[in-house]
Amino acid sequence: MGCGTSVKTEYQGKKSEKAIKAAVLIQRWYRFYMARLEMRRRYTLNIFQSIEYAEEQAQLQLSNFFTFMIDHYAQMNNQHQGPDLISDIINSSKDGKKKLMAYETIEVPDSYDGPRLSFPLSVSDTNTLLHAFKQEKHLHARYVLQLFNEVKKFLKQMPNIVHLTTSFAKQITICGDLHGKLDDLLLIFYKNGLPSTENSYLFNGDFVDRGKNSVEILVILFAFLLVYPNNLHLNRGNHEDPIMNLRYGFTKEVMQKYRVHAKSILHLLEDIYSQLPLATIIDSKVLVLHGGIANTTDLDFLTSIERSKYKSALKPPRSNSERNNLIHKGNVLPIDGCKASESLDRPIGSSIHEVQHFPDKCLSSQMFSSSLQHSGGLPEEFRNGGILEIKYLHPSIPMPEMTPELTDTEQKEWKQVVDILWSDPRNQNGCSPNSFRGGGCYFGPDVTKKFLDRYNLEMLIRSHECKQEGYELGHNGRIITIFSASNYYDEGSNRGAYLKLCPDLIPRFVQYQVSKCTRKLTLHQRINAVEDSALRALQEQFFAHRSDLMKAFKEFDPNDTGKISISDWASALEAVLHLDLPWRTLRSRLTRLASDGSVEYMSCFDDLHIGKSIKEVQPSLVETLYRYKADLEIIFNIIDKDHSGLISIDEFHQTWKLFTSHLHISIDDSTIDDLAHSIDSNKDGSIDFNEFLEAFRVVHKFEDKSHYAKT
């Protein structure tokens, strides 16, 4: 019996050993599987972010052009005293502006079934708004204008830097970017409670743009601000900016929802943006601002500036005399060749740093010669007609210098504002221009420590960057990034988060994700879906830069074999796109390998084609139009004064000529005419811009198939 027991015990031991080995193998496989999924999640977010920041950099580099166009739009119609930026688009004098904002004269019809407000607002009004917006109803323009007017009055009383305390409330909840995502705001209120005297909130900028419900978010936040002025607080973000709104959707949203009164709303928002506080300090220990800091950030100086001057942080403020004399001192431009382009192409607010220049975009050193007049420095065609009547416009003619001469104090002010709205932390020590975004600075742990120690602060809380988990700690825990827009890039791309600060000032994070179609998918399927979306966006970048990429590929392929090494392929992509991506890792999803292991670089474009074939248009022009279609849409919206979605062929022609004069793209008139007539499918002499955008939409070979089906 003893021997039998020994054999049985030995057998059980071997069986147990096999089970342990099997468990170890399964565990090892699972860890490897999850590591690969995590790698894919990270490079997917990296793709989205790189493309987003490249777009922002392009927006900043083109801000000089858009400001030129917007500023001159008022000048062309004899509006010499109009307000800045968006206000000039809508072509109103100061008297006209007051008239536009006279909300008392706007009648609310009996047929209106949306929410109705009574001022001063109460809790019942905020509840009414929340209920109505959940049902996808809009607030009447009369109430929107009255609400925004009241908020403007309130914000004028606020300091540049607000000081809060946790002594009078149980906690302060800090939320990051919302970007027009109403579902996220409603979910935050559901999980954390509505603002009240015992439940304070601080929203850290970027309420608008990208999402489809920016108006509703502003209305909700502004309503609670008036009801609980001591318990709801707002910081300005870099998207509380009229020029940013032109490109990233909010201006278009306002125009679509409030066609007749959209102009008045945009006027008011300019003033509201400029009056928003720039930062908040909690219990004298925690600094909350939207972007970040630089090694020159001075909180004492920031408290003293006149923040209302900064309607847009993309351009320095202009005095009335400068606004009326857009071309400096006389009838010629400086002819040093790059003076104008330096202000255009350098990262904004970075004058103290050494910056990257873009010599290929230097404005021509030619003069405006005899066509410039002493009256405001504008040509006769500018003053008596519209922008579409400039007959001499040609790519060889430069645009005037738009950056006004600034005193040292004004330059310092502007830089301080830009840095706190646009800067990002980095792990490397030091402070350098944020060349990836094109504005603000990169600041390292040493800059953070020195800054916080100088002002006896413990922590800096900021937003401005999408984080996969909704938040991220950095710089030895002294920097917190909080981002509250879940699914920012695509469904399932990231979580949102908010943090709660109690009197102990220990941050407590709450994560969430608004789930709709992805709820029933497995983790693998969700990552597949988001990854596919990111790769499609990246392939569209390939199409937009096809000519430049082909030129770069062929430099590594002098014998025209159609093949280059993986290393050369990656180098060519980075040299052209500047996206700082792990190209070798992504290679298998973007191109094919030949039998010898080299890359068949033409396969990068196999999956892409333009949705609507336009045979009359040169392929090079199609590529150029696709690359700049977002910028063309901005110009189109400026010209389309009645917001009908239509412009004449002549207007389209002149729009493209104006834009190419800035980009220094040489395209002959007949080519543009061919394009315009080919888009005008019904031959009525007008172009529907939605059709134009659709005509230049990149179609993916397999995009009609379900990406969620992949396993």
426 alpha-carbon distance from chain centroid: 20
Side-chain-side CA neighbours of 636 within 13 Å: the count stands at: 25
φ, ψ of residue 13 in degrees (nearest 5): -65, -45
Q: What contacts 34, CB < 8 A, 6 or more positions away?
A: none
Answer yes or no: are the C-beta atoms of 365 and 339 closer than 8 Å: no
Residue 239 annotated in active site? yes
97 alpha-carbon distance from chain centroid: 28
Distance CA 27, CA 192 (A): 38
- In this structure, the dihedral spanned by the alpha carbons of residues 693, 694, 700 and 706, taken in order and rounded to 10 degrees, is 120
Distance CA 666, CA 661 (A): 8
Distance CA 21, CA 675 (A): 68
Distance CA 609, CA 701 (A): 8
Cα 588–591–594 angle (5° rounding)? 95
Rg (CA), the chain: 28
Give the 3-state DSSP-derived string for 559-576, with helices as H, strands as E and coil as C: CCCCEECHHHHHHHHHHH
Number of neighbours of residue 516 by Cβ within 10 angstroms: 9
Answer yes or no: are the C-beta atoms of 352 and 298 closer than 8 Å: no
| First-residue to last-residue Cα distance in the chain | 54
Q: Is 60 left (phi over 0), alpha (psi -120 to 50) or beta?
A: alpha
Both tokens assigned to 439: 């504005």
- For residue 413, give the 3-state DSSP assignment: helix
Strand partners, 348: 439
Distance CA 314, CA 515 (A): 35
Q: Which of 140, 233, 239, 261 is catalytic?
A: 239
Both tokens assigned to 40: 């894919």
Alpha helices by DSSP H, 579-628: 583-590, 619-627
φ, ψ of residue 597 in degrees (nearest 5): 90, 0
Of 168, 299, 170, 316, the closest CA to residue 230 belongs to 168
Active site members: 239
